[in-house]
Amino acid sequence: MKKIGIIVIMAGIIFFAGKTFGFRSHKLVKANDNKLVYVPVNEPAGTKYAKGAKIYKAKCVPCHQLTGMGVPGAFPPLKGSDYLKKNKKSALSHVLNGSSEAVTVNGVSYSISMPPQVDNYPDAVAVVNYILNAWGNNYGTVTLEDAKSIKIVR
Ligand code: HEC
Protein backbone atom coordinates (compact mmCIF):
# COMPACT_ATOMS: atom_id res chain seq x y z
CA MET A 1 0.00 0.00 0.00
CA LYS A 2 2.83 2.33 0.93
CA LYS A 3 4.49 1.80 -2.45
CA ILE A 4 1.37 2.87 -4.34
CA GLY A 5 1.17 6.03 -2.26
CA ILE A 6 4.74 6.92 -3.14
CA ILE A 7 4.11 6.27 -6.84
CA VAL A 8 1.03 8.50 -6.77
CA ILE A 9 2.99 11.29 -5.07
CA MET A 10 5.86 10.97 -7.58
CA ALA A 11 3.44 11.10 -10.51
CA GLY A 12 1.86 14.19 -9.01
CA ILE A 13 5.23 15.90 -8.63
CA ILE A 14 6.21 15.09 -12.21
CA PHE A 15 2.85 16.33 -13.49
CA PHE A 16 3.05 19.66 -11.69
CA ALA A 17 6.71 20.16 -12.55
CA GLY A 18 5.73 19.63 -16.18
CA LYS A 19 3.04 22.26 -15.93
CA THR A 20 5.33 24.73 -14.19
CA PHE A 21 8.44 24.30 -16.28
CA GLY A 22 6.55 23.98 -19.53
CA PHE A 23 6.80 20.70 -21.38
CA ARG A 24 4.30 22.31 -23.75
CA SER A 25 5.55 24.28 -26.75
CA HIS A 26 2.50 26.46 -27.42
CA LYS A 27 -0.17 28.09 -25.34
CA LEU A 28 -3.47 29.83 -25.97
CA VAL A 29 -3.58 33.57 -25.35
CA LYS A 30 -6.20 36.21 -26.03
CA ALA A 31 -5.30 38.72 -28.74
CA ASN A 32 -6.59 42.31 -28.56
CA ASP A 33 -9.63 41.46 -30.64
CA ASN A 34 -10.52 38.76 -28.07
CA LYS A 35 -9.81 35.88 -30.45
CA LEU A 36 -7.70 33.06 -29.07
CA VAL A 37 -4.36 32.42 -30.77
CA TYR A 38 -1.67 29.83 -30.22
CA VAL A 39 1.76 31.33 -29.57
CA PRO A 40 5.03 29.59 -28.76
CA VAL A 41 5.58 29.46 -25.00
CA ASN A 42 9.32 29.95 -25.30
CA GLU A 43 8.95 33.14 -27.28
CA PRO A 44 8.06 36.04 -24.94
CA ALA A 45 7.20 38.35 -27.86
CA GLY A 46 4.47 35.91 -28.87
CA THR A 47 2.62 36.50 -25.61
CA LYS A 48 3.34 40.20 -25.19
CA TYR A 49 2.51 41.09 -28.79
CA ALA A 50 -0.23 38.52 -29.34
CA LYS A 51 -2.13 40.62 -31.88
CA GLY A 52 1.02 41.25 -33.90
CA ALA A 53 2.00 37.58 -33.69
CA LYS A 54 -1.37 36.65 -35.12
CA ILE A 55 -1.07 39.12 -38.01
CA TYR A 56 2.47 37.90 -38.67
CA LYS A 57 1.31 34.30 -38.87
CA ALA A 58 -1.56 35.22 -41.19
CA LYS A 59 0.35 37.52 -43.57
CA CYS A 60 4.13 37.42 -43.36
CA VAL A 61 5.03 33.76 -42.89
CA PRO A 62 4.93 32.75 -46.60
CA CYS A 63 7.86 35.07 -47.31
CA HIS A 64 9.66 35.84 -44.05
CA GLN A 65 8.95 32.38 -42.54
CA LEU A 66 7.82 31.44 -39.04
CA THR A 67 11.43 31.64 -37.92
CA GLY A 68 11.83 35.22 -39.22
CA MET A 69 14.77 33.97 -41.26
CA GLY A 70 13.26 34.70 -44.68
CA VAL A 71 14.36 32.80 -47.78
CA PRO A 72 17.98 33.29 -48.88
CA GLY A 73 18.27 35.34 -52.05
CA ALA A 74 14.54 36.14 -52.20
CA PHE A 75 13.00 37.31 -48.93
CA PRO A 76 15.14 39.07 -46.32
CA PRO A 77 15.38 37.96 -42.68
CA LEU A 78 13.64 39.99 -39.97
CA LYS A 79 15.40 38.08 -37.20
CA GLY A 80 18.67 39.88 -36.56
CA SER A 81 18.04 42.32 -39.45
CA ASP A 82 20.35 45.34 -39.23
CA TYR A 83 18.00 47.14 -41.61
CA LEU A 84 14.99 46.63 -39.33
CA LYS A 85 16.98 47.72 -36.30
CA LYS A 86 17.87 51.04 -37.96
CA ASN A 87 14.61 51.64 -39.88
CA LYS A 88 11.65 51.03 -37.59
CA LYS A 89 9.51 53.59 -39.44
CA SER A 90 10.38 52.07 -42.75
CA ALA A 91 9.06 48.76 -41.40
CA LEU A 92 5.73 50.52 -40.83
CA SER A 93 5.73 51.84 -44.37
CA HIS A 94 6.67 48.35 -45.67
CA VAL A 95 3.58 46.78 -44.09
CA LEU A 96 1.21 49.66 -44.97
CA ASN A 97 2.35 50.49 -48.49
CA GLY A 98 4.68 47.70 -49.52
CA SER A 99 8.07 48.45 -51.02
CA SER A 100 9.51 48.23 -54.47
CA GLU A 101 12.94 49.60 -53.63
CA ALA A 102 15.82 47.23 -53.15
CA VAL A 103 16.92 46.94 -49.53
CA THR A 104 20.20 45.68 -48.13
CA VAL A 105 19.84 43.45 -45.09
CA ASN A 106 22.96 42.19 -43.30
CA GLY A 107 25.03 42.92 -46.40
CA VAL A 108 22.73 41.17 -48.89
CA SER A 109 20.58 43.10 -51.38
CA TYR A 110 16.93 42.08 -51.95
CA SER A 111 15.19 43.45 -55.02
CA ILE A 112 11.89 41.53 -55.26
CA SER A 113 9.13 43.94 -54.22
CA MET A 114 6.98 43.46 -51.12
CA PRO A 115 3.21 43.93 -51.51
CA PRO A 116 1.22 45.97 -48.91
CA GLN A 117 0.03 43.80 -46.01
CA VAL A 118 -2.28 45.71 -43.67
CA ASP A 119 -4.73 48.55 -44.30
CA ASN A 120 -4.81 50.36 -40.96
CA TYR A 121 -2.44 51.94 -38.45
CA PRO A 122 -3.22 49.82 -35.36
CA ASP A 123 -2.51 46.58 -37.26
CA ALA A 124 0.72 48.05 -38.66
CA VAL A 125 1.91 49.02 -35.16
CA ALA A 126 0.95 45.60 -33.76
CA VAL A 127 2.82 43.54 -36.34
CA VAL A 128 5.87 45.81 -36.43
CA ASN A 129 6.19 45.75 -32.63
CA TYR A 130 5.99 41.97 -32.83
CA ILE A 131 8.83 41.64 -35.36
CA LEU A 132 10.92 44.20 -33.46
CA ASN A 133 10.79 41.91 -30.43
CA ALA A 134 10.40 38.37 -31.77
CA TRP A 135 13.16 35.74 -32.25
CA GLY A 136 15.48 37.47 -29.78
CA ASN A 137 15.26 40.85 -31.56
CA ASN A 138 15.43 43.65 -29.02
CA TYR A 139 14.81 46.62 -31.28
CA GLY A 140 12.36 48.71 -29.22
CA THR A 141 8.85 49.66 -30.31
CA VAL A 142 6.94 52.02 -32.60
CA THR A 143 3.88 54.11 -31.65
CA LEU A 144 0.56 54.86 -33.29
CA GLU A 145 1.87 58.40 -33.87
CA ASP A 146 4.85 56.99 -35.81
CA ALA A 147 2.42 55.04 -37.98
CA LYS A 148 0.11 58.00 -38.53
CA SER A 149 2.99 60.04 -39.91
CA ILE A 150 2.99 57.64 -42.89
CA LYS A 151 0.44 58.26 -45.60
CA ILE A 152 -1.36 55.12 -46.73
CA VAL A 153 -1.16 55.08 -50.52
CA ARG A 154 -3.11 52.48 -52.43
C1 HEC B 1 5.16 38.22 -50.85
C2 HEC B 1 6.29 38.19 -49.95
C3 HEC B 1 6.29 39.06 -48.73
C4 HEC B 1 5.33 39.14 -47.74
C5 HEC B 1 4.01 38.40 -47.63
C6 HEC B 1 5.86 40.06 -46.74
N7 HEC B 1 7.09 40.54 -47.14
FE8 HEC B 1 8.29 41.82 -46.10
N9 HEC B 1 9.62 41.81 -47.65
C10 HEC B 1 9.51 41.09 -48.81
C11 HEC B 1 10.60 41.41 -49.70
C12 HEC B 1 10.85 40.82 -51.08
C13 HEC B 1 11.38 42.38 -49.03
C14 HEC B 1 12.66 43.05 -49.56
C15 HEC B 1 12.40 44.06 -50.63
C16 HEC B 1 11.98 45.41 -50.15
O17 HEC B 1 12.08 45.74 -48.96
O18 HEC B 1 11.54 46.20 -51.01
C19 HEC B 1 10.74 42.61 -47.74
C20 HEC B 1 11.22 43.45 -46.77
C21 HEC B 1 10.68 43.62 -45.50
C22 HEC B 1 11.26 44.45 -44.45
C23 HEC B 1 12.54 45.27 -44.52
C24 HEC B 1 13.78 44.43 -44.67
C25 HEC B 1 14.16 43.61 -43.45
O26 HEC B 1 14.37 42.40 -43.62
O27 HEC B 1 14.30 44.14 -42.34
C28 HEC B 1 10.42 44.35 -43.37
C29 HEC B 1 10.60 45.02 -42.02
C30 HEC B 1 9.33 43.48 -43.75
N31 HEC B 1 9.51 43.05 -45.05
C32 HEC B 1 8.27 43.14 -42.93
C33 HEC B 1 7.18 42.36 -43.32
C34 HEC B 1 6.03 42.09 -42.48
C35 HEC B 1 5.90 42.52 -41.02
C36 HEC B 1 5.17 41.35 -43.22
C37 HEC B 1 3.77 40.88 -42.85
C38 HEC B 1 2.86 41.87 -42.30
C39 HEC B 1 5.78 41.13 -44.52
N40 HEC B 1 6.99 41.77 -44.56
C41 HEC B 1 5.21 40.39 -45.57
C42 HEC B 1 8.52 40.18 -49.10
C43 HEC B 1 7.37 39.95 -48.35
pLDDT, one tens digit per residue, over 107-137 is: 999 999 999 999 999 999 999 999 999 999 9
The mean pLDDT value for 10-38 works out to: 61
| pLDDT tens figures, 44-70 | 787 889 999 999 999 999 999 999 999
Do residues 52 and 128 make contact, with C-beta atoms less than 8 angstroms apart? yes
What is the structure's pLDDT at 33?
63
CA–CA separation, 6 vs 95, rounded Å? 57
Q: Which of 64, 65, 110 to mutate to test the pocket of ligand 1 (most atoms within 8 A of CB)?
A: 64
Cα 68 to middle of ligand 1, angstroms: 10
Cα 17 to middle of ligand 1, angstroms: 40
What is the structure's pLDDT at 21?
54
Cα 101 to middle of ligand 1, angstroms: 11
- If you average pLDDT over every residue of the chain, what do you get? 87
Q: Give residue 2's pLDDT band: very low, low, confident or very high (50, 70, 90).
A: confident
| Residue 79 backbone class (left: φ over 0; alpha: ψ -120 to 50; beta: rest) | beta
